[in-house]
Amino acid sequence: MAALEQEIAAILKSMEHQVTIRTVADRRYHLAERNGQQYVIVLSRIGKVAAAATVTTLINVFGVQSVLFTGLAGGIHADVKVGDIVIARSVYQYDLDASPLFPKYSVPLLNKTFFDTDEALNDKIAKACNDYLAQDFATAFEGNKRPRFFQRDIPKVHQGLIGSGDVFVNALEKQNQIAEQMPSTLCVEMEGAAVAQVCYEYAIPFAIFRIISDRADSKAELDFNEFLNEISPHYGSAILTRLLDQLASS
């Protein structure tokens, strides 16, 4: 799963001749086979409701046995720089607050704030990311794209907490507020914790990895759009391709 086309365009393109498309509730589900494994690839569009509706269909209609969500995110923690990769160990909804009825951030009646991702999948994602960075990154982004879009010579792979909310965070004030209230938050995005909650309720293993497109500050909109169009199509999909090949061989 991803929210937007640019985030997984190359994967879709590499499979375009072998896919069957089924449309359910205005989403196009691409059914594909790669190395003998069956995959369903879908764009959820942006936000928690869109993501929850889409993953529910993946589970109920297509019977998926695990879920991977990828896409861009805004950096919150000071060490999370543009171009870095964040693999979620757990996720929470930073905009969920039913207090004083329920503790802030806790999903009412489920009594759960943090949803853990699948460790075995995380290890495979980490390997795909590290292999990509060691072997392909330098040639994929040569010339002036490197300093323009990457804050480090070689991006860092982080693992930890991701916050989700129905907000595009584009102000230092909001970024600081999230960091102060939940200091371990590495980055923010708009779908992960919704997918996590649904997967948890269906007992389906899930994983999320995100590429940092912006620092969730006043430049976020510009940085996000440029990264989405110029970098994303060549970056996330290349890691995904490695991951799918690795999943097939394990």
Mapped onto helix, strand or coil, the DSSP state of residue 244 is: helix
Measured CA to CA, the distance from residue 110 to residue 234 in angstroms comes to 39
Q: Is 216 in the site for ligand ADE (CB under 6 A)?
A: yes
What letter would DSSP give residue 82? T
Residue 213 as a binder of ligand ADE (CB under 6 A): the answer is yes
Interface residues for ligand ADE in 20-79 (CB under 6 A)?
72-74
Residues 147-186 that bind ligand ADE (CB under 6 A): 168-170
Residue closest to ligand ADE, measured at CB: 74
State the minimum distance, in angstroms, from the CB of residue 136 to ligand ADE. Answer: 23
- The Cα–Cα gap between 57 and 42 comes to 10
Answer whether the bond into residue 183 is a cis peptide, omega within 30°: no
Of 184 and 246, the one with the shorter C-beta distance to ligand ADE is 184
- 173 among known catalytic residues: no
Contact 110, 197 (CB under 8 A): yes
Q: Is 118 designated active site? A: no
Pick between residue 84 and residue 214 the one whose CB is nearest to ligand ADE: 214
Q: Site for ligand ADE (CB under 6 A): which residue of 86, 189, 197, 233?
A: 189
Q: What are 75's strand-pairing partners?
A: 187
Query: With CB under 6 A as the contact rule, which of the stretches 57-65, 122-130, 210-218, 236-244 interacts with ligand ADE?
Result: 210-218
Residue 184's closest CA among 84, 95, 91? Answer: 91
Q: Is 107 helix (H, G, I), strand (E, B) or coil?
A: strand
The residue annotated as part of the active site, out of 189, 191, 214, 223, is 214
Contact between 191 and ligand ADE per CB under 6 A: no
Contacts of 61 (CB under 8 A, 6+ apart): 24, 29
Q: Is the dihedral of CA 123, 125, 126, 128 positive or negative?
A: positive
**Of 32 and 161, which CB lies nearer to ligand ADE in the complex structure?**
161
**Could you list the residues that contact ligand ADE (CB under 6 A)?**
72-74, 168-170, 188-190, 213-214, 216, 220, 224
Catalytic residue numbers read 7, 214
